[in-house]
Chains A and B, each alone.
Chain A
Amino acid sequence: MKKAVQIISVITLVIFISAFTMYEAPLVDNGYKIGDVAEDFSLKNIDGNMVSLSDYKDAKGFIVTFTCNTCPYAVMYEDRINDLNKKYASKGFPVIAIMPNNTDVKPGDNMEAMKVRAKKKGFTFPYLIDEGQKVYPKYGATKTPHVFLLHKTDNGNVVKYIGAIDDNYKDASAVKAKYVENAIDALLSGKEVEQTETKAIGCSIKV
């Protein structure tokens, strides 16, 4: 009898799983690839204002960084994200930070907590919330921190680099390759980005 219930349960499960293969869902794997044009967005900043890439008339590009309060990797990179903005905003590449997590799952990432964190760390860049989680899947962000470097062209904001900020999460002073800085420096001097994609461990975006 027990066996029968088990078998029926498994069969029911399998039927439901196969039934839903027909569905089309927005897939993270379908996110932007190098060379794609990134869509603009309008997301709420911690100061209450809505922010779009098109607001930045003089920008040459953007360091779009998916990050959050609660991921230890993201926290380890907070100072470095701040430094990136300080170094490159004036050169035309500001940091646009986006918090992609579902705040019902991670209350520590809600707007109030974002405000507190930004104030404590002295964020000099907009820290936006991806309310409704519509933006991160378009980018194909899977984790925090996850950087997408955009280059503004006549055709739109072209994705030039996807990945990590550098090659040593533990120790900023031991970094050998500053991936994001190298990519921006190349763009600023009219060259192609050499290393266009890197991988790093991060916290999965909470849905």
Chain B
Amino acid sequence: MLNYNKYTEVLINFKAMKLKLLIVAILIITSCKQEHKSAAESIDIAKKEVDTINSNNVVLEVYDYNGFEKFLNKKDDKTYVINFWATWCAPCVKELPYFEKLNSQYLDKNVEVILVSLDFPHLYESKLKPFIKKRKLKSKVIALDDVDMNSWIPKVNQNWSGSIPATIIYKNDNAKFFEQSFTYQELEIEVKHFFN
């Protein structure tokens, strides 16, 4: 909790005061990165718990929290980056490319990004699936549809107030939770902590 506070605080100050510098740094770093070929899709074949919708040529797995919980509890030495987002959430959409990039660039480091959409079910067809298709999202996208939020939000993390974007990075029993937006560099730094 303390670390998290400190971290957010740092980010707030950092963003406010050194935005220009950050942008310059990002530009330098990203321009130097060699683009790997886009990563293969997740090899993890999760079986449906609630529903699988296949239209728009997009297969969407929809889970209630009980069905979804297994994605937070894998113990296979892989580093999982679980991002809670929605198409209606502007800061979420803004940071999606960073998660996509992470997923492809760190594939060989045994990292997998899972994008957990909290879009409204009645908009899966008209908003979410066209979005996934248009953006050509390569990371695994699943939908979490469970109205009883007060029962499941604290299970994801005790400190989560419920705002999105929110992200969990975990490997086996080691997990870190973030109720904040990320830049690509910030994401990289956090993910690398799990490599040791």
Q: Is A110 in contact with chain B by the CB < 8 A criterion? A: no
A167's partner among B5, B18, B90, B150 (CB-CB below 8 A) is B150
Contact B9 A23 (CB under 8 A): yes
Q: How far is the CB of A110 from chain B (nearest CB, A)?
A: 16
Chain A residues touching B, range: 35 or more
| B76, CB-defined interface residue at 8 Å | no
CB-based contact B149/A164 at 8 Å: yes
Contact of A21 among B10, B153, B163 (CB under 8 A): B10
Q: B150 to A204, Cβ gap below 8 A?
A: no
Q: Which of B60-113 contact A (CB under 8 A)?
A: 88-91
- Residue contact B120 to A72, C-beta cutoff 8 Å: yes
Q: Are A167 and B185 in contact (CB under 8 A)?
A: no
Chain B interface: which of A4-12, A41-49, A53-61?
Answer: A4-12
B164 within 8 A of A: yes
Indicate whether A6 sits within 8 Å of B164 (C-beta atoms), given known contacts A20-B10, A169-B147.
no
Instruction: Output the least CB separation between B101 and chain A (Å).
Output: 15
Does B52 belong to the interface (CB within 8 Å)? no
Interface membership of B179, Cβ < 8 A: yes
The 8 A CB mask of A187-207 against B (1 = contact, 0 = none) is 000000000001111111111
Residues A6 and B29 in contact, CB atoms below 8 Å apart: yes
Query: Once the chains bind, are A17 and B10 in contact (CB under 8 Å)?
Result: yes
Q: A2-B32, A9-B28, A143-B163 are in contact. Are A200 and B14 (CB under 8 A)?
A: no
Which of A16, A164, A168, A171 has the most B CB atoms < 10 Å from its CB? A16
**Bound CA span A28–B29, Å:** 31
Count: A-B pairs, CB below 8 Å: 112
List of B residues within 8 angstroms of A79 by Cβ: none
Identify the stretch in B36-44, B132-140, B154-162, B169-177 within 8 Å (CB) of chain A at 4 or more residues: B154-162
Given that A13-B185, A72-B120, A143-B161 are known contacts, is A199 also in contact with B13, CB under 8 Å in the complex? no
Q: How far is the CB of A33 from chain B (nearest CB, A)?
A: 13
> Please, how many angstroms separate the alpha-carbon atoms of A179 and B150 in the complex?
10
Q: How far is the CA of A163 from the CA of B17 in the complex (A)?
A: 32
Task: Scan B18-61; emit 1 where CB is below 8 A from any A CB, else 0.
Answer: 10011001001100110000000000000000000000000000
Given contacts A20-B13, A203-B163, A204-B164, contact A198 B150 (CB under 8 A): yes
How far does the Cβ of B45 sit from chain A's closest Cβ, in whole Å?
A: 28
Given contacts A2-B32, A170-B147, contact A201 B9 (CB under 8 A): no
- Known A13-B25, A199-B149; further 15 A-B contacts with Cβ < 8 A: A2-B32, A10-B185, A12-B25, A13-B22, A16-B18, A20-B14, A21-B10, A23-B13, A29-B4, A106-B90, A167-B150, A168-B147, A199-B150, A199-B160, A201-B149
Binding site for B on A (CB under 8 A): 2-3, 5-6, 9-10, 12-13, 16-17, 20-21, 23-25, 27-29, 71-72, 106, 142-143, 146, 163-164, 167-171, 174, 179, 198-207
Provide 12 A-B residue pairs closer than 8 Å at the C-beta atoms, listed in order of the A residue.
A17-B10, A20-B10, A24-B9, A27-B9, A143-B162, A164-B162, A198-B150, A199-B162, A202-B163, A203-B88, A204-B181, A207-B12
